[in-house]
Amino acid sequence: MSDSEVILQQRVVDAGNKKQQLAIIGGMTKDFYGRAVVGETLDIKNHQGIVDYDPTELVLTAKAGTPMVEVNRLLEENNQMLGFEPPYFGKNATLGGTIACGLSGPARPFRGSVRDFVLGVKILTGSGHVLKFGGRVMKNVAGFDVSRLMVGAMGTLGVILEVSIKVLPKPASQITISIHQPNVNLAIQEMNRLHGKPWPISAMSWYQDRVWIRLSGTDVGVTNAYQHIGGDLEEAGDQFWEDSREQSLPFFRDESPLLRVSCKAGVPGFDFQNSALDQDKSINEALIEWAGGVRWFKQSEAREANFPERLQEKAKELKGHMMWFRGGNRQGEVFMPLPSAVLTIQKNLKRAFDPQGILNVGRLYASF
Amino acid sequence: MNVNTLIELMGAILPKECIITDKNSLRVYECDGLSAYRQIPLMVVLPGSTEQVQSIMRLCNEHAVPIVSRGGGTSLSGGALPHKDGIVLSLAKMNKVLEIDERSLIARVQPGMRNLAISEAVKPYGLYYAPDPSSQIACTIGGNVAENAGGVHCLKYGLTIHNVVSVQVVSSDGELMELGGSGFESPGLDLLALMVGSEGMLGIVTEVTVKLLPIPEVAKVLMGVFDSVEKAGNSVAVIITSGIIPAGIEMMDNLAIRAAEGFVQAGYPVNAAAVLLCELDGVQEEVDYQLSQVSKILHECGAVETRVARDEKERALFWSGRKAAFPAVGRISPDYYCIDGTIPRKFLGKVLSEINGLSESYGLRVANVFHAGDGNLHPLILYDANIPGELEKTEELGSRILQLCIQVGGTITGEHGVGIEKIGEMCIQFTDEEREHFHLIRECFDPKRILNPGKAIPTLARCAEHNLMHVHNGELPFPELERF
């Protein structure tokens, strides 16, 4: 066990003895996400470093506090990348925070999510046990998949100490094209249609009346797909995807709360026009990501106060998921309420991994 | 609980023909693909609806009756081995497609639907379901979820966990839950990740929503022939780091090649030390380009010969040998025992030569077929169950091979599951605290432990016994190991 690991373990054990709640932090870049947590700070930043990386295995293992810029630099040097394309939301982002928040970038529908790439974890439970699950190999079905359970758990089940992730070779060629399409429903249909084609599409969004498509693969594969799809070649395409991932597109710039709905990619544009809100042209989706699977909304001042509730109803009807991504009341619930049977299991799991209830209590839901 | 009372209570839930209690019919369910273990259950029930599954669960939970769920019964680790005091819940009757959403690229199906039948059902839309375990004609999607099944194509397209969007589950007390979301994510803790690969211990899956992929325009397979297993193994790493992710890369050693060739006449070179099958898929131009690249790499890595299947017929022929490797080995030996470990690819050569050494010292032949791209080994130990003591010797050799996998940083099971078979090795791969947490997880879902009891996670007592057996000179095996 490394020194920094021993220190973290001791902190957790002491906190458990005192029943002192802890707020786990890394680079503080995703502090805005999830519910507000009260507790003594447990900083994992000093627990950093690459543990193992062999490019031929396509597996990287690093300590949780390792900065994402360092992970990325190392992968770049070997012409590899993270398939899930996570947002950093700031240069101090850590690997541990990235895994704990479980946020994936534009490539998600095509290459997979954060959890899809996690192979193994080492965690520190609320009782101070250091446990390892999963491993450093691609296929592993020994025991329950606790490593993937940690993704998106936001530190409620344990402090992530170390993670092994699958990495991918970088594509030889990449271009972005865009197609003019002001009609949201036709844009979604077009994205669904393209998604069903065997072409090397690695990202697809609808923004400012255009369908944006990124193609990544071999030169011939990309060229071939471009010939089929057509559209305008976007010189600054990579920048568009980066801005979209890091939320620096003009749409994200104002400070009003940001709402996000995840739903089936084929669901037509949310039509709120029959309401009193139909005066507000920006009521419906302004940005659609993930080939239709994610719809972004702003709760601007002009909007009725009950719009988020209506949006949540809509998401529920679609068996989707609505969240307050940024802003709003972080003391209230920010994720969709869970059905009682599911909530009970989640609370039980919290107790199993953190019996004293000291780790990031309430970060996901008020009740655990 | 009295069997007759249980039959009577079950009769209020299910029609008579869906309850099996006579000895002869029960025998059909006495084992799964791991036929060395057999057990006749108290009864077998075949519900036809989610509501019926809920009622069965409520009944069994109330009376603490063990339940073993069963799909196609193809498990190679004894996952569906019945419990002597329990019932087998077969999902075979729940085998329909419920919804195909070609726009969102998903299909909602019942758990008893066969893996291959899903791809057949969505073929008219130009789509398919990617994970393709070798048993895909017979295995069910529910079983695939329970085992997190893989297959030849999971190198590029992932395992079951990567291809299932959500599942509907009946909990141990009969509650209905939806885990996962209709889109690309769901709120709260990722219970779907726990459910996939949970070997029937966390709930009964009654609906599965799978991700569909567009059928590739073209798929081609290339055979590389090698005079050494190490060279073949190394070429896999070179292909992958070159930036090409083939749809699948499979490897067979000489004994497996000869067995397969004798069985299906696929045109394999019987004198080769190893054969590599590499499938590439995508659009025509891309596949052609990658074929030439892979061919070049294989030659640079010392391939004696490379051959591209000329047409679809020959491609099927190339694959037929690999896919029939197990029955082919069955022809050259009265019995065989299939092992399923995964190792970092770089240790392929080392592990294979150590397996050869073990094979010699045990006096048992071992044929090797494996998913080389993932480092997932399937050594097949050839033995004769009629020779007293040979099965025990075989199991011991199997266990030594799995310990070897752990030793190089791998795992005791890549895709077949722990079941009853590798329960002892779980004691080596995980610490007491880690196993204790598996038990705690299980209790969150099934406090009475009625779901598939005795499988997948050994009790502390069992491990104490197991480790006692494997302690030599007062030392645990491989004390220096990181148990990853």
Enclosing H/E stretch for B68: strand B67-70
**Tokens (6 digits) for B474:** 């007062």
- What average pLDDT score do residues B139-148 get? 97
Contact present, B123 and B100 (Cβ < 8 Å): no
**Residue located via tokens 């073990």:** B358
Rounded CA separation A312/A316 (Å): 6
**Is A198's CB within 8 Å of B342's CB?**
no
**Residue ranges of chain A whose pLDDT lies below 70:** 272-284
Euclidean distance between CA atoms B40 and B85, whole angstroms: 9
Residue B288 identity (one-letter amino acid): D
Q: Could you tell me which residue, B282 or B476, shows the higher pLDDT?
A: B282
In A167-209, the DSSP E strands lie at 168-169, 173-180, 201-207
Tally C-beta pairs within 8 A across A and B.
279
- In degrees and rounded to multiples of 5, residue B401 shows phi and psi of -65, -40
The sign of the dihedral angle between the CA atoms of B287, B293, B295, B297 is: negative
**DSSP type of residue B114:** B
From the list B257, B404, B228, B422, the residue with the least C-alpha distance to B338 is B422
Name every chain A residue with its beta carbon within 8 A of the beta carbon of B190: 102, 115, 148-149, 151-153
Of A112, A265, A353, the CB nearest to B104: A265
Q: How many CA atoms lie within 13 A of A355 on its CB side?
A: 9
Q: d(Cα A189, Cα A68) in Å, to the nearest integer? A: 35
Which residues make Cβ contacts (< 8 Å) with residue B341, sequence separation at least 6?
A: B376, B377, B379, B401, B402, B404, B405, B410, B411, B412, B413, B414
Count Cβ atoms within 10 A of the Cβ of residue B202 and give its class: 0-12 exposed, 13-18 middle, 19 or more buried: buried
Of B156, B168, B104, give the one whose Cα is nearest residue B131.
Answer: B156
Query: DSSP states of B324-382 as a string?
Result: THHHHHHHHSSEEEE--EE--GGGHHHHHHHHHHHHHHHT--EEEEEEGGGTEEEEEEE
Q: What is the mean pLDDT of residues B99-114?
A: 97
Provide, as residue numbers in chain B, all residues whose Cβ is less than 8 Å from the Cβ of A115.
Answer: 190, 193
The predicted-structure confidence for B364-404, as pLDDT tens digits, reads as follows: 999 999 899 999 999 999 999 999 999 999 999 999 999 99
Whether residues B184 and A293 touch (CB distance < 8 A) is answered with: yes
At residue B170, φ and ψ (nearest 5 deg) are -100, 125
Distance from B407 to chain A by nearest Cα, in Å?
A: 12
Q: Give phi and psi for A118, each to the nearest 5.
A: -80, 130
Do the strands A258-262 and A321-326 form a parallel or antiparallel pair, or are they unpaired? antiparallel
CA distance B426 to B456: 8
On chain A, the residues whose CB falls within 8 A of the CB of B343 are 137
Least confident among B104-108, B173-177, B464-468: B464-468
Which pair of structure tokens corresponds to residue B313? 């017929």
Among B189, B290, B432, the strongest candidate for a mutation testing the A interface, having the largest count of A CBs within 10 A, is B189
Q: In terms of CA atoms, which chain A residue is nearest residue B196?
A: A145
- What's the pLDDT score for residue A284? 62
Of the listed ranges B26-30, B87-91, B247-251, B344-348, the least confidently predicted one is B344-348
**Residues A149, B194: C-beta atoms closer than 8 Å:** yes
Mean of pLDDT values over B265-273: 95
Report whether B65 contacts B82 (CB < 8 A). Answer: no
- Look at residue B159 in the predicted model and tell me its pLDDT: 96
What is the DSSP secondary structure assignment for residue A268, as one 8-state letter? P
CB A212 within 8 A of CB A205: yes
Assembly ipTM: 0.96
Q: H or E segment at B427? A: helix B423-429
Residues of chain A with Cβ-Cβ distance to B189 below 8 Å are 149, 152-153, 156-157, 346, 349, 364
Gap between the Cα atoms of B350 and B317, Å rounded: 31
The residue type found at A207 is Y
Asked if A141 and B417 come within 8 Å (Cβ–Cβ), the reply is: yes
Taking CB atoms and an 8 Å cutoff, what residues of chain B touch A349? 189, 441, 444
What residues of A are in contact with residue B177 (Cβ under 8 Å)? 339, 341-342, 345
From B286, which residue of chain A is nearest by alpha-carbon distance? A221
The length of chain A in residues reads 368
For residue B242, which residues of chain A lie inside 8 Å, CB to CB? Answer: 169
Closest CA to A197 of B28, B471, B212, B199: B212
Between CA B13 and CA B427 the distance in angstroms is 40
Q: Edge to edge, what strands does the sheet with B164-170 contain?
A: B97-101, B106-109, B204-211, B164-170, B176-180
Question: What pLDDT does B475 receive?
Answer: 45
| pLDDT above 70 (res B483) | no
pLDDT of B323 reads 83
Where residue B348 falls among pLDDT bands split at 50, 70, 90?
confident
DSSP state for residue A298 in the 8-state scheme: E
List the helix and strand counts (H, then E) for chain A: 11, 17
Compute the distance between CA of residue A127 and CA of residue A353 in angstroms, rounded to an integer.
Answer: 8
Q: Reduced to 3 states, what is the DSSP secondary structure of residue A258? A: strand
The structure tokens 């029939």 sit at: B324
* Displacement of CA A26 from its chain's centroid (Å): 16
pLDDT at B467: 66
Of B177, B182, B286, the CB nearest to A263: B182
Following DSSP, what letter does each residue of B378-426 receive, concatenated? EEEEEE-TTSTTHHHHHHHHHHHHHHHHHHTT-BS-SSS--TTTTHHHH
Q: Is the dihedral of CA A233, A238, A241, A244 positive or negative?
A: negative
- Cα–Cα dist B90/B69, whole Å: 6
Using alpha carbons only, how large is chain A's radius of gyration in Å?
A: 21
Mean pLDDT to the nearest integer, B31-50: 95
Query: How would residue B468 be classed by pLDDT, with cut points 50, 70 and 90?
Result: low
Whether residue A56 and residue B240 make contact (CB cut-off 8 A), yes or no, is yes
Chain B residues whose beta carbon lies within 8 Å of the beta carbon of residue A51: none
pTM, to two decimals: 0.94
User: What is residue A280's predicted lDDT score, i.e. its pLDDT?
Assistant: 47
Q: Which of A143, A197, A348 lies at the smallest CB-CB distance from B214?
A: A197
Backbone φ and ψ of A15, nearest 5°: -60, -40
Q: What is the pLDDT of residues A9-40, one digit of tens each?
A: 999 999 999 999 999 999 999 999 999 999 99
CB–CB of A261/A174 below 8 Å?
A: no
DSSP structure string for B255-315: HHHHHHHHHH-----TT-SEEEEEEEEESHHHHHHHHHHHHHHHHHTT-SEEEE--SHHHH
Please give the helix or strand (H or E) that residue A148 lies within, else none.
Answer: helix A146-150
> pLDDT tier at B462 (50, 70, 90 boundaries)?
confident
Nearest CA in chain A to B241: A56
Q: Domains, chain B, ranges and CATH?
A: 3-90 (3.30.43.10), 97-214 (3.30.465.10), 218-328 (3.30.70.2190), 333-470 (3.30.70.2740)
Contacts with A246 (C-beta within 8 Å, 6 or more apart), sequence order: A87, A88, A89
User: Is the predicted pLDDT of residue B32 greater than 80, yes or no?
Assistant: yes
Nearest residue to B164 (alpha-carbon basis) of A318, A148, A229? A148
Residue A100, SS3 per DSSP: helix
Q: Do A112 and B158 touch (CB under 8 A)?
A: yes
**DSSP secondary-structure letter at A30?**
T
Whether residue B412 contacts residue B422, with contact meaning beta carbons closer than 8 Å, is answered with yes
Nearest to B242 by CA among B175, B190, B301, B313: B301
The confidence score (pLDDT) of residue B152 equals 87
* Percent above pLDDT 70 for chain B: 96
pLDDT tens per residue across span B200-217: 999 999 999 999 999 999
Query: Mutation test of the interface with chain A: which of B105, B169, B286, B412, choosing the one with the most A Cβ atoms within 10 A?
Result: B286
Please state, in angstroms and rounded to a whole number, the distance separating the CA atoms of residues B286 and B244: 11
Residues 6+ apart with CB under 8 A from A306: none
Gap between the Cα atoms of B483 and A140, Å rounded:
13
CB within 8 Å: B189 and A132: no
For residue B2, count CB atoms less than 10 angstroms from its CB and return exposed for 0-12, middle for 13-18, buried for 19 or more.
Answer: exposed
Q: Which residue has the tokens 């480790």?
A: B467
**Size of chain B, expressed as the number of residues it contains:** 484
Phi/psi at A344 (nearest 5 deg)? -60, -45
Cβ atoms of B322 and B369 closer than 8 Å: yes
A96 contacts B171 by C-beta, under 8 angstroms: no
Cβ proximity of A157 and B430 under 8 Å = no
Nearest CA in chain B to A218: B286
| Token pair in block for residue B197 | 């690969």
pLDDT of residue B477 exceeding 60: no
Closest CA to B63 of B174, B168, B203: B174
A159-166 and A59-63 strand pairing:
antiparallel
Identify whether the C-beta of residue B390 lies closer than 8 Å to the C-beta of residue B384.
yes
- Across A197-215, b (16+ Cβ under 10 Å) vs e yields ebbbbbbbbbbeebbbbbb
Residue A131: its chain B contacts at CB < 8 A? 431, 433-434, 437
